[in-house]
């Protein structure tokens, strides 16, 4: 093949290859290997009277596009995704699909920003909420008739409950209910909700996609081109766009997502198993543990169990003692980065009350697992000593 001939991305490569090869500039002589960061607020018009296709950098930016296309391909659609200023901007875009006064089925527990936004919109009369336990499929199905949209986050932050996404999506389709799935915890490497009937996938790209705790960004992926056009129009008018450098960093992070997730997930699986053996707490949630109440459903739906573990102590004080006893896990909010983080979630006033006071969420990173286990043992000793 001549150097001048553009090379298309080969179909049917495995996801671990795709994260490396998607979103590259055309392979022509002297082309850069990586997309350049385009720092320009406007673009030159095609003639004196008419804007070019790009117009203004709130409408489009060439640095977003490789990332938008790559995440969409990984999620299994050729409709490009849409990049947003944050995961919450992406979540807001999802709720913007509900007509004023519309009915939304939401989980009682999910990322507290999502729940907070939904409740605030409801308090303002913009929408009506039906709160459900997303793991209770009968309850969810009973809430669907007459609804406009159902919001799922699975596995859910931070309880790690798993919803039956295919069954809920199938029932939602029968009732004409739009299905949104926040896929932040699983990433498209472990779960592809569009392929089992969801309409919209939302990501906090801040987490596993960017992967280095140095970017705030969100992404929405849909499989319907008309829906994308609607979201694009709204993003342009709402101005909820990412900076080009953030999009570039997220794409750079994506290159190693498969490696990072493999390692962090293997670490999480081993830590969860060792925690299970060690005890010293009242509950342990990790969908990969055979003893976890949602293990069977997770095993049926996910290609991997992720890198988040929740440990529940019998009090906030004991949970705080556990966190204070850790030296390697950094006490900080967020997750999905290369470094291990820990926090007691109810320290946030906004955290849903269904989350136990003593719940500690571990975001397991890519460090050596024995070092991490030695650290967890320090935390358990500090909690036991209280």
CA separation for the pair 333, 102 (Å, rounded) = 32
Q: Does 352 bind ligand PLP (CB under 6 A)?
A: no
Q: Which listed residue (24, 58, 130, 347) is catalytic?
A: 58
Q: How far is the CB of 340 from ligand PLP (least distance, A)?
A: 16
Residues with Cβ within 8 Å of residue 17, at least 6 apart in sequence: none
Encoded one letter per residue, x for contact with ligand PLP by CB under 6 A and - for no contact, window 204-233 reads x-x---------x-x---------------
Q: What's the closest the beta carbon of residue 227 comes to ligand PLP, in angstroms? A: 20
Alpha helices in the chain (DSSP H): 15-21, 64-75, 87-95, 112-123, 137-143, 165-174, 225-238, 244-254, 257-278, 295-301, 316-324, 369-384
Residue 286 bears catalytic tag? no
The count of chain residues that interact with ligand PLP, using the rule CB under 6 A, is 15
Count of Cβ atoms closer than 10 Å to residue 37 Cβ:
15
DSSP 250-316: HHHHHTTHHHHHHHHHHHHHHHHHHHHHH--SSEEE-TTSTTSTTHHHHHHH-SS--SEEEEE-SSH
Task: Answer whether 279's CB lies under 8 Å from 312's CB.
Answer: no
Q: Please report how many Cα atoms fall inside a 13 Å half-sphere around the Cα of residue 117, on the Cβ side.
A: 16
What minimum distance in Å lies between the beta carbon of 313 and ligand PLP? Answer: 22
Q: Which is nearer to ligand PLP, 217 or 321 (CB)?
A: 217
Taking the complex as a whole, how short is the minimal distance between the CB of residue 352 and ligand PLP, in angstroms? 13
Among 111, 208, 313, 329, binds ligand PLP (CB under 6 A): 111
Whether 182 is catalytic? yes
Stretch that binds ligand PLP, among 11-19, 108-116, 121-129, 343-351 (CB under 6 A): 108-116
Q: Is 82 in the site for ligand PLP (CB under 6 A)?
A: no
Of 91 and 127, CB closest to ligand PLP = 91
Which of 71, 72, 91, 219 binds ligand PLP (CB under 6 A)? It is 91
Considering only residues 158 to 187 of the shown chain, the ones binding ligand PLP according to CB under 6 A are 182, 184
Cα(236)–Cα(135) distance, rounded to whole angstroms? Answer: 35
User: Is 191 near ligand PLP (CB under 6 A)?
Assistant: no
Angle between helices 244-254 and 64-75 (to 10 degrees): 40
To ligand PLP, the closest distance from the beta carbon of 26 in angstroms equals: 31
Question: Measured on CA atoms in the order 150, 153, 154, 155, is the torsion positive or negative?
Answer: negative
What's the min distance (Å) between Cβ of 216 and ligand PLP? Answer: 5
Based on the shown chain and the rule CB under 6 A, indicate whether residue 258 belongs to the binding site for ligand PLP.
no
Active site residue 58: yes
Structure tokens that stand for 170 in this block:
């199938």
In the bound state with ligand PLP, the residue whose beta carbon lies nearer, of 85 and 284, is 85
Both tokens of 190, joined, read 């472990």
Q: Is 84 a catalytic residue?
A: no
Helix axes 316-324, 369-384, angle to 10 degrees: 140
Max CA distance (Å), the chain? 75
Interacting residue with ligand PLP among 157, 191, 267, 310 (CB under 6 A) = 157
Q: Examine residue 343 and tell whether it contacts ligand PLP (CB under 6 A).
A: no
Q: Which residue is nearest to ligand PLP (CB)?
A: 87
Stretch that binds ligand PLP, among 22-30, 70-78, 82-90, 375-383 (CB under 6 A): 82-90
Q: Shortest distance, CB of residue 301 to ligand PLP, whole angstroms?
A: 17
Token code pair at residue 373: 């286990």
CB under 6 A: which stretch of 34-42, 111-119, 124-132, 305-313 binds ligand PLP?
111-119
> Contacting ligand PLP (CB under 6 A), which of 131, 153, 164, 265?
153
What's the rounded Cα separation, in Å, for the pair 112 and 106? 12
C-alpha 5/C-alpha 10 separation (Å) is: 14
Give the Cα separation of 79 and 228 in Å (integer).
8
Q: Which residues are catalytic?
A: 58, 111, 182, 207
* Chain residues that interact with ligand PLP, rule: CB under 6 A: 86-88, 91, 111, 113-114, 153, 157, 182, 184, 204, 206, 216, 218
């Amino acid at each position: 093949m001549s150097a001048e001939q553009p090379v298309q991305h080969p179909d049917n490569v495995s996801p671990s290859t795709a994260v490396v090869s998607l979103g590259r500039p055309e392979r022509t002589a002297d082309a850069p290997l990586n997309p350049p960061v385009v720092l320009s607020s406007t673009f030159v018009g095609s003639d004196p009277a008419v804007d070019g296709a790009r117009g203004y950098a709130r409408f489009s930016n060439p640095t977003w596009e490789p990332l938008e296309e790559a995440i969409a391909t990984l999620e299994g659609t050729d409709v490009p995704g849409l990049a947003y200023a944050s995961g919450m901007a992406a979540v807001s875009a999802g709720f913007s699909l509900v007509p004023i006064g519309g009915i939304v089925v939401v989980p009682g527990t999910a990322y507290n920003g999502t729940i907070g936004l939904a409740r605030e919109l409801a308090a303002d009369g913009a929408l009506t909420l039906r709160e459900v336990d997303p793991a209770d499929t009968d309850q969810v199905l009973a809430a669907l008739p007459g609804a406009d949209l159902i919001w799922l986050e699975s596995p859910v932050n931070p309880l790690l409950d798993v919803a039956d996404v295919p069954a809920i999506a199938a029932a939602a389709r029968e009732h004409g209910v739009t299905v949104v799935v926040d896929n932040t915890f699983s990433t498209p490497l472990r779960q592809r909700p569009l392929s089992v009937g969801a309409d919209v996938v939302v990501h906090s790209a801040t987490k596993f996609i960017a992967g280095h705790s140095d970017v705030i960004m969100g992404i929405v992926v849909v499989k319907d081109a008309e829906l994308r056009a609607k979201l694009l129009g709204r993003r342009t008018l709402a101005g909820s766009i990412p900076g080009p450098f953030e999009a570039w960093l997220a794409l750079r992070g994506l290159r190693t997502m498969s490696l990072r997730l493999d390692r962090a997930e293997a670490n999480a699986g081993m830590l969860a198993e060792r925690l299970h053996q060690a005890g010293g707490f009242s509950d342990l949630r990790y969908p990969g543990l055979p003893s976890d109440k949602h293990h069977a459903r997770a095993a049926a739906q996910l290609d991997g169990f992720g890198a988040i573990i929740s440990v529940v102590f019998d009090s906030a004080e004991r949970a705080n003692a556990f966190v204070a006893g850790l030296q390697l896990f950094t006490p900080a909010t967020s997750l999905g980065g290369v470094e291990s983080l820990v926090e007691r979630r109810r320290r946030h006033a906004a955290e849903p009350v269904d989350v136990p006071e003593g719940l500690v969420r571990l975001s397991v990173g890519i460090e050596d697992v024995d070092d991490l286990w030695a650290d967890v043992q320090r935390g358990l000793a500090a909690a036991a000593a209280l």
